[in-house]
Structure 1
């Protein structure tokens, strides 16, 4: 097993084993003044300074999964045309609608795309790049990386790289793990494949750094939030039952209110918000209005840096975020 090191921002530096009482005593132990002074120092350390004086950051991101995933991996999707077309709706129909909406609002976005989708909808995927957006890795057929050994993960990354080069003439630098987790070898596999950032984990409200032993430059992690995953509120399909046990679609007003509240909290504290939206879920005629209103709400703040994940990751590296970090073995 490869020993990896995870670099977390300073506020994450307290070990989970520290007691509440010990944490509460930090101002007195620091010897640097009152509780209020301590809180003010922590806020300065916690809130990043974003480009051009922006107060917070949003990296709008979509997972263009198409019909890939478990049903494709086990072969059942080929006998389930309803489920296949549900997934195909994303690249075939919803994507163009989303790209038009993003263009109208002048918002860049990142699309994490399984390479199988690129093979089967190359023109639609090329339109993402033509629109000034970013495409990043998302497996070949949406494999669960935590179930694959190192060679299996390398095979997925190599095959994906070949597809992106053949159909789009480019190599992504970003990655979002399919199925929400990865194994102990994944960080090294990704770095060896030329990946410079991931948006896969949940460890903070800001980017942080991931290290692999023997590799000098770290990889940036731009953590996502399940609260900003449209599957949680809007996805539904009878057979297969996915998401499992979901038997209703949430109110659109409630869904939008939840998303705006998450943004409001992130913006208030000067943090980085990343979404896990899916064109086949939220790119439909009625639902895309939720995205329009969410983006308009962000624009109304006037000091939000809306950027691709690639640009956020590069800015984080360039500004030496590791200077406010501590390292832990993972």
Structure 2
């Protein structure tokens, strides 16, 4: 990877920091839900389908309330089954990006399998939404040593998959600048504070649902830390986890905190990546 040497990046138009709100619209994808629940027990399937069917519209309403733009990483299996919900994401001015087809474990896929997933996803985005995404978030939170090169040669411009910094940076492709990485962190993943699934057991170890006011406070403090140091803050949030009725107040509190500053650049991941490439590709 190649990093910009300045600890404090310069953002456009005098903004002090950048925020890329990002949501993974997983729905009932992944082996745990699709391979077991869809066949054997609809309870597990509906746990996931609640995300695109019921939680997404209220999340989009809240984003509109605060006039915030966001990026949605969508497994294309979800797009096939809830196309109208995904169409509204585009209509509301948000970005859509790659997140596998069935939320595959990319580190377990060889290069041919990864390329097949990307080709399949590209075709579905084009057919269903008329768009060609330029961003990618690995569904499983990992990838193998060939993935960054494969994605860049496929036409992807940025990733929000790795954890290597609190500023964007570049993955190298044969010694040259490749993907822009917009790194996130697991502690800004709502699963770590708000998820409890009976079967499959996740997180393992039982009930880890934290007090909602504490979660809101933690996320606001994290945002403030990034803002004060002039960094780039992104999220790993899931509508089916954090956009439930009682938890929407957490997001409302966070969005209000972000909007309390007039020097925060809130934009799509693609716009932040484009700006980074234009200013730091040297």
Task: Tell me the TM-score normalized by structure 1.
Answer: 0.83
Q: Indicate if the aligned counterparts of 2:20 and 2:70 stay in contact, CA closer than 8 A.
A: yes
Deviations along 1:260-307, whole A, 9 cap, x unmatched? Answer: 111111011000000000000011111111111101111112211111
Q: Deviations 1:216-243 (Å, cap 9, x if unpaired)?
A: 5521000001121100000111111112
Question: Of 210, 230, 233, which residue of structure 1 is paired with 2:171?
Answer: 210
| Matched position secondary structure for 1:126 | helix
Contact 1:128 1:135 in 2 (8 A): yes
Flag structure 1 segments of 5+ consecutive residues without an equivalent. Answer: 1-5, 11-44, 324-330
Q: Which of 258, 276, 279 pairs up with 2:236?
A: 276
Superposition deviation, residue 75 in structure 1: 3.9
Secondary structure of 1:191's aligned partner? helix
Question: Does 1:195 find its partner at 2:190?
Answer: no
Q: Tell me which moved more, 295-304 or 131-140.
A: 295-304
2:42 to 76, 81, 84: 81
**How many residues are aligned here?**
282
Structure 2 residue aligned with 1:129, among 85, 90, 102?
A: 90
TM-score (norm 2): 0.97
Q: Which position in structure 2 is the counterpart of 1:229? A: 189
Residue 167 of structure 2 aligns to a residue in which SS?
Answer: coil
Which residue is 2:140 aligned to? 179
Are the equivalent residues in 1 in contact too, given 2:135–2:159 (CA < 8 A)?
A: yes
List aligned pairs for 1:154-173, cutoff 5 A. Answer: 154-173=115-134
* 4+ long deviations beyond 3 Å: 72-77
Q: Deviation per CA, 1:21-49, whole angstroms, max 9, x where unpaired? A: xxxxxxxxxxxxxxxxxxxxxxxx21111
Larger CA Rg, structure 1 vs 2:
1
Q: 2: distance between equivalents of 1:78 and 1:97? A: 29
> Is 1:301 equivalent to 2:261 in the alignment?
yes
Q: Report what 1:26 is aligned to.
A: none
Q: Say which SS state the counterpart of residue 219 (structure 1) adopts.
A: strand
Match of 1:21 in 2: none
The residue number in structure 2 matching 1:38 is none
- Within 5 Å, give how 1:1-330 maps onto structure 2: 6-10=1-5, 45-72=6-33, 74-213=35-174, 217-319=177-279, 321-323=280-282
